[in-house]
Amino acid sequence: MKSKSAPLLGFTLVELIIVVAIVGILAAVAIPSFTSAIRSSRLTSTANQLVTALNYTRNEAIKRGQIVVAAKTGSEWENGWQVFIDVDRSSNANKNTFNDDGDGNLCESGEDCVLRVYEAIPANFTLRSNSFTDYIHYKPTGDSNTQGSFAICDNNDDNNIPEPRTSRLVVIGPTGRVGQGRDSDNDGIPEKSDLASELSSCTNP
Protein backbone atom coordinates (compact mmCIF):
# COMPACT_ATOMS: atom_id res chain seq x y z
CA MET A 1 0.00 0.00 0.00
CA LYS A 2 1.32 3.43 -0.96
CA SER A 3 1.28 6.02 1.78
CA LYS A 4 -0.08 9.47 0.99
CA SER A 5 2.46 12.25 1.24
CA ALA A 6 1.51 15.21 3.46
CA PRO A 7 0.85 18.46 1.59
CA LEU A 8 3.67 20.97 1.70
CA LEU A 9 2.95 24.04 3.84
CA GLY A 10 4.40 27.51 3.41
CA PHE A 11 4.54 30.43 1.02
CA THR A 12 5.34 30.34 -2.63
CA LEU A 13 7.87 32.87 -3.86
CA VAL A 14 5.13 35.03 -5.36
CA GLU A 15 3.14 35.01 -2.11
CA LEU A 16 6.24 35.93 -0.11
CA ILE A 17 6.99 38.87 -2.43
CA ILE A 18 3.39 40.11 -2.03
CA VAL A 19 3.58 39.88 1.79
CA VAL A 20 6.89 41.75 1.88
CA ALA A 21 5.47 44.45 -0.38
CA ILE A 22 2.38 44.89 1.82
CA VAL A 23 4.50 45.09 4.99
CA GLY A 24 6.73 47.68 3.31
CA ILE A 25 3.75 49.83 2.32
CA LEU A 26 2.24 49.66 5.82
CA ALA A 27 5.58 50.57 7.40
CA ALA A 28 6.04 53.51 5.03
CA VAL A 29 2.63 54.86 6.09
CA ALA A 30 2.76 54.04 9.82
CA ILE A 31 6.32 54.99 10.80
CA PRO A 32 6.15 58.70 9.82
CA SER A 33 2.77 59.03 11.56
CA PHE A 34 4.13 57.35 14.69
CA THR A 35 7.23 59.56 14.68
CA SER A 36 5.09 62.67 14.23
CA ALA A 37 2.86 61.62 17.14
CA ILE A 38 5.87 61.15 19.43
CA ARG A 39 7.30 64.55 18.51
CA SER A 40 3.93 66.24 19.03
CA SER A 41 3.62 64.60 22.44
CA ARG A 42 7.08 65.83 23.44
CA LEU A 43 6.23 69.34 22.26
CA THR A 44 3.02 69.41 24.30
CA SER A 45 4.83 67.99 27.33
CA THR A 46 7.55 70.67 27.07
CA ALA A 47 4.99 73.48 26.80
CA ASN A 48 3.11 72.13 29.81
CA GLN A 49 6.35 71.88 31.76
CA LEU A 50 7.14 75.54 31.10
CA VAL A 51 3.62 76.66 32.03
CA THR A 52 3.86 74.65 35.26
CA ALA A 53 7.27 76.14 36.06
CA LEU A 54 6.09 79.72 35.51
CA ASN A 55 2.94 79.18 37.55
CA TYR A 56 5.08 77.68 40.31
CA THR A 57 7.37 80.73 40.22
CA ARG A 58 4.40 83.08 40.46
CA ASN A 59 2.71 81.13 43.25
CA GLU A 60 5.91 80.96 45.32
CA ALA A 61 6.36 84.74 45.04
CA ILE A 62 2.82 85.31 46.28
CA LYS A 63 3.09 82.70 49.03
CA ARG A 64 6.49 83.82 50.33
CA GLY A 65 5.98 87.55 49.86
CA GLN A 66 9.33 87.76 48.05
CA ILE A 67 10.58 88.17 44.50
CA VAL A 68 11.05 84.77 42.88
CA VAL A 69 12.97 84.37 39.63
CA ALA A 70 13.00 81.79 36.83
CA ALA A 71 16.32 82.17 35.00
CA LYS A 72 18.00 80.16 32.27
CA THR A 73 21.03 78.14 33.38
CA GLY A 74 22.74 77.93 29.99
CA SER A 75 23.24 80.07 26.94
CA GLU A 76 19.58 79.57 25.93
CA TRP A 77 16.38 78.61 27.72
CA GLU A 78 16.33 75.22 26.01
CA ASN A 79 19.47 74.31 27.97
CA GLY A 80 17.47 74.41 31.22
CA TRP A 81 16.45 76.89 33.90
CA GLN A 82 16.07 77.21 37.65
CA VAL A 83 13.63 78.89 40.02
CA PHE A 84 15.04 80.72 43.03
CA ILE A 85 14.11 83.22 45.73
CA ASP A 86 15.97 86.41 44.86
CA VAL A 87 17.02 87.36 48.40
CA ASP A 88 20.17 89.29 47.49
CA ARG A 89 19.01 92.35 45.55
CA SER A 90 21.61 94.65 47.08
CA SER A 91 22.80 95.90 43.69
CA ASN A 92 21.64 95.93 40.08
CA ALA A 93 24.26 93.29 39.31
CA ASN A 94 22.78 90.96 41.93
CA LYS A 95 19.15 91.43 40.97
CA ASN A 96 17.58 88.53 39.04
CA THR A 97 20.91 86.65 39.14
CA PHE A 98 21.52 83.69 41.43
CA ASN A 99 24.04 84.54 44.13
CA ASP A 100 25.47 82.54 47.01
CA ASP A 101 28.92 82.23 48.57
CA GLY A 102 29.63 78.82 47.03
CA ASP A 103 30.41 77.08 50.32
CA GLY A 104 27.95 74.28 49.64
CA ASN A 105 25.51 75.38 52.32
CA LEU A 106 22.31 76.28 50.52
CA CYS A 107 19.80 78.99 51.38
CA GLU A 108 21.91 80.65 54.05
CA SER A 109 20.78 83.98 55.46
CA GLY A 110 21.12 86.76 52.90
CA GLU A 111 21.72 84.34 50.02
CA ASP A 112 19.48 83.43 47.11
CA CYS A 113 17.72 80.10 47.52
CA VAL A 114 17.09 77.60 44.70
CA LEU A 115 13.62 76.07 44.78
CA ARG A 116 13.64 73.93 41.63
CA VAL A 117 15.95 73.08 38.75
CA TYR A 118 14.65 72.14 35.28
CA GLU A 119 16.78 70.12 32.87
CA ALA A 120 17.31 70.78 29.16
CA ILE A 121 14.35 70.16 26.89
CA PRO A 122 14.53 67.54 24.08
CA ALA A 123 17.29 67.83 21.48
CA ASN A 124 16.41 69.90 18.39
CA PHE A 125 13.81 71.85 20.40
CA THR A 126 14.26 75.60 20.85
CA LEU A 127 12.83 77.71 23.67
CA ARG A 128 13.21 81.46 23.17
CA SER A 129 11.49 84.61 24.40
CA ASN A 130 10.92 88.08 23.02
CA SER A 131 10.92 89.77 26.45
CA PHE A 132 12.51 87.37 28.91
CA THR A 133 15.98 87.01 27.41
CA ASP A 134 17.61 85.70 30.57
CA TYR A 135 14.97 85.63 33.29
CA ILE A 136 11.43 86.36 34.37
CA HIS A 137 10.67 87.42 37.93
CA TYR A 138 7.46 87.59 39.88
CA LYS A 139 6.61 90.02 42.66
CA PRO A 140 4.59 89.20 45.79
CA THR A 141 1.59 90.78 44.03
CA GLY A 142 1.77 88.11 41.31
CA ASP A 143 2.87 90.58 38.64
CA SER A 144 5.83 89.73 36.41
CA ASN A 145 8.62 92.16 35.54
CA THR A 146 7.08 92.55 32.08
CA GLN A 147 4.71 90.79 29.72
CA GLY A 148 5.75 88.73 26.73
CA SER A 149 5.90 85.22 25.37
CA PHE A 150 8.01 82.10 24.95
CA ALA A 151 8.13 80.15 21.67
CA ILE A 152 8.77 76.41 21.82
CA CYS A 153 9.62 74.82 18.47
CA ASP A 154 10.49 71.37 17.26
CA ASN A 155 13.27 72.80 15.12
CA ASN A 156 14.39 69.51 13.62
CA ASP A 157 15.02 71.09 10.21
CA ASP A 158 16.98 73.94 11.84
CA ASN A 159 15.22 76.67 9.85
CA ASN A 160 13.81 78.47 12.95
CA ILE A 161 10.43 78.89 11.24
CA PRO A 162 7.26 77.55 12.90
CA GLU A 163 5.52 74.97 10.75
CA PRO A 164 2.12 73.33 11.28
CA ARG A 165 1.99 71.35 14.53
CA THR A 166 5.65 71.96 15.37
CA SER A 167 5.36 74.93 17.74
CA ARG A 168 3.71 76.16 20.92
CA LEU A 169 3.46 79.68 22.35
CA VAL A 170 3.40 80.38 26.10
CA VAL A 171 2.08 83.86 26.89
CA ILE A 172 2.59 85.94 30.05
CA GLY A 173 -0.12 88.59 30.32
CA PRO A 174 -0.02 92.06 31.91
CA THR A 175 -0.97 90.71 35.35
CA GLY A 176 1.59 87.91 35.20
CA ARG A 177 -0.87 85.15 34.42
CA VAL A 178 0.40 82.36 32.20
CA GLY A 179 -1.44 80.82 29.25
CA GLN A 180 -0.84 79.18 25.88
CA GLY A 181 -1.31 80.82 22.51
CA ARG A 182 -4.47 79.87 20.63
CA ASP A 183 -4.74 78.46 17.13
CA SER A 184 -8.11 79.92 16.19
CA ASP A 185 -7.81 79.18 12.47
CA ASN A 186 -6.68 75.57 13.09
CA ASP A 187 -3.67 75.77 10.79
CA GLY A 188 -1.34 74.26 13.40
CA ILE A 189 0.52 77.52 14.15
CA PRO A 190 -0.36 79.49 17.32
CA GLU A 191 -1.31 83.15 17.22
CA LYS A 192 0.46 85.83 19.22
CA SER A 193 -1.25 87.30 22.28
CA ASP A 194 -2.90 90.10 20.26
CA LEU A 195 -4.34 87.48 17.84
CA ALA A 196 -3.44 89.83 14.98
CA SER A 197 -0.65 87.65 13.64
CA GLU A 198 0.75 84.15 13.90
CA LEU A 199 4.02 83.07 15.42
CA SER A 200 6.51 83.56 12.58
CA SER A 201 9.89 82.93 14.20
CA CYS A 202 11.15 80.32 16.65
CA THR A 203 13.92 82.61 17.87
CA ASN A 204 12.07 85.94 18.12
CA PRO A 205 8.44 85.36 19.11
Which domains does the chain show, CATH number per domain?
A: 14-180 (3.55.40.10)
Helix (H, G, I), strand (E, B) or coil at 36: helix
pLDDT at 14: 72
Q: pLDDT of the chain along its 205 residues, tens only?
A: 555 555 555 667 777 787 777 776 766 665 556 567 777 888 999 999 999 999 999 999 999 999 999 999 999 999 999 999 999 998 998 999 999 888 888 899 999 999 999 999 999 999 999 899 999 999 999 999 999 999 999 988 888 898 888 999 999 999 999 999 988 888 889 988 665 688 999 988 8
pLDDT at 34: 55
pLDDT at 197: 83
Helix (H, G, I), strand (E, B) or coil at 117: strand
pLDDT at 102: 84
Question: How would DSSP label each residue in 44-111?
Answer: HHHHHHHHHHHHHHHHHHHHHTS-EEEEESSSSGGG-EEEEE----SSTTTTTS----SSS-TT-TTS
pLDDT at 40: 81
Entry pTM: 0.81
